Amino acid sequence: MKADVLVLGAGPAGISAALEARAQGLSVLLLDENSGPGGQVHRGAKASAAGPGAEQAHAGAALAARLATSGVDCRFGAVLWAIEPGPTAFFSEAGMARKAEAGQIILAPGTIERAVPIPGWTLPGVMGVGAAQILLKSAGLLPEGRVWLAGQGPLLWLYAAQALARGGAIAGIIDMSTHQPRAFAHLPLALLAPGYLARGLSWMRMVRARVPVIRTRRFSAQGDGRLEKLVIGNQTHAADILLLHDGVVPNTQVTRAIQGFSHRFRAGAWEPEADEYGRSNIAGILVAGDGGGVFGAEAAALSGRIAALQAAHALGRFGAEQRNALAGPLMMQRARQRAPRRFLDALFPPLPPPSDDVMLCRCEEVSAGRVRQAVGLGCQGTNQLKAFTRAGMGPCQGRVCGPLLHAAVAQARGAAPEDVAPLRTRFPTKPLTLGELAALAE
């Protein structure tokens, strides 16, 4: 299988990249493991949407409609599991492993929700706000029973507003944010895109009017075999569902598995290192959207188009001058869309690592205390931590625990986070059966 451009991820960045590459006359293969286009933000987006988040749904529906008639070879339910120099991509579709050679690969894998390791976070009944939002968007499902939310960041309030608007009930919200006066230094820049903040504040107001909000970081989830209650100081609240959130981080599962791929630490997370066109330090591999740094859906769509223009240039469609002329206006729009992000990042720095007894790696059952103990024994980084504790070696390959282990090692060493290398991942970055792989040798 061959394509001029292979795009991974059919969210706003991936769809926009695919459409732009097609518009430049390139053949495009678009892979996404979901059953349809949209990614997280535009999942199940309908042109008829109303209520909180409706504007984004309308944009998503419009992108999906254009994609359907674009001539892009869309493979939904296709799971990419490796990239080799070439670049060559390996993916599985309906139980069959496939190999695709591409002129350029644009990675638009989006984000992963940061886990929130409070005491009891591994109990059944505790999940991420992101997972709840998938259920809401894809199936219109609201959690039942006494539902609590805890954590910090805009998505927490958006989800609460959406759930309430659809008739859901929320028993309470535990706001884990702390006052960050330094964030307000970034406010003037943020006001370049005032819609962003205005929307966020309106969700927050609407939710606060209807749901009790407790501001604390000291609480635990407890229960016998599943979540039964939240204990906050000397108060106990019955709870059936607890949805946690501490922002999202770029999904670097694929880029960290590519040997030699450079990453940088920014805004409390590792992101692939890429230039303004999305070019990484690996030949033929570009990054677009929130997977390259979290700036939101509008900026993601623009960066997808810019990366596609760069890909077209790299494939000889046009020279650097024309690329610059086409990409320039998009870059200016993107800068405006990115403006509020620094304020939000400063307002919600990642929550600090938890106390010793709290689990960080669920797959291998490694607690924060064991990570600190390993550092005491001379473990300097997250990759050595595997040898000391097996942390990060389970089936999730650090998808959940990676950022937590990294923060805990940095804190225990007293080192700056950027001085502690991120956990390496290994292909296949998504489960693949031995039989599927064997078929490539037959």
Partner 1 sequence: MNQAIIIGGGLHGLSTALHLARLPGWRVRVLERRHVGRHSSGINAGGVRRLGRDLREVGLSMVAAEMWAGMAKLVGDDGGFRPTGQVKLAESEADLAALERRHDAMRARGWTHEELIDEAETRRLLPGVAGHIKGALVVRDDGSANPMRTVMAFRRAVLEAGAEIIEGVSVTGIGPGLTVETDQGPMQADRVANCAGAWASGLAAAIGEPIPTYAKASMMIVTERLPRFCEPTVGSQSRALSFKQTDEGTVLIGGGHQGSNDLATETASVDFTNLAHAARIAAEIFPRMRGAKIIRSWTGIEARTPDQVPVLGESRALPGLFHSFGYSGHGFQLSPAAGAAMAELMARGATNLPIDGLSPHRFAT
| Binding footprint of partner 1 on the chain (CB under 8 A) | 82, 84-85, 90, 99, 259-260, 380-381, 383-384, 386-388, 394-395, 397, 425-428, 431-435, 437-442
Between vectors from CA 16 to CA 15 and to CA 17, what angle results, nearest 5°?
90
The least CB distance from residue 257 to partner 1, in Å, is: 9
Q: Which is nearer to partner 1, 319 or 431 (CB)?
A: 431
CA distance 174 to 212: 9
CB of 17 to partner 1, least distance (A): 25
| For partner 1, the closer CB: 85 or 145 | 85
Distance, CA of 150 to CA of 208 (rounded, Å): 14
Minimum separation from the CB atom of position 90 to partner 1 (A): 6
Closest to 149 measured CA to CA, from 137, 164, 165, 139: 164
| Residue with Cβ nearer partner 1 (255 or 310) | 255
**Residue number with CB closer to partner 1 (82 or 344):** 82
Q: Parallel, antiparallel, or unpaired: how do β-strands 263-266 and 269-272 relate?
A: antiparallel
- DSSP, collapsed to helix, strand or coil, labels residue 204 as helix
Residue with tokens 């609201």: 142
Supply the Cα-derived Rg of the chain in whole angstroms: 22
Nearer to partner 1, 44 or 392 (CB): 392
Smallest separation, CB 70 to partner 1 (Å): 30
Sorted by sequence, the CB contacts under 8 Å of residue 414 that are 6+ apart come out as none
Three-state DSSP class for 134?
helix
Q: Which residues are 279's β-sheet partners?
A: 286
Identify which of residues 73 and 436 has a Cβ nearer to partner 1 in the complex. Answer: 436
Strand partners, 105: 6, 285
Rounded least distance, CB 172 to partner 1, Å: 38
Token output for 58: 């309308």
Report, in Å, the least distance between residue 160 CB and partner 1: 36
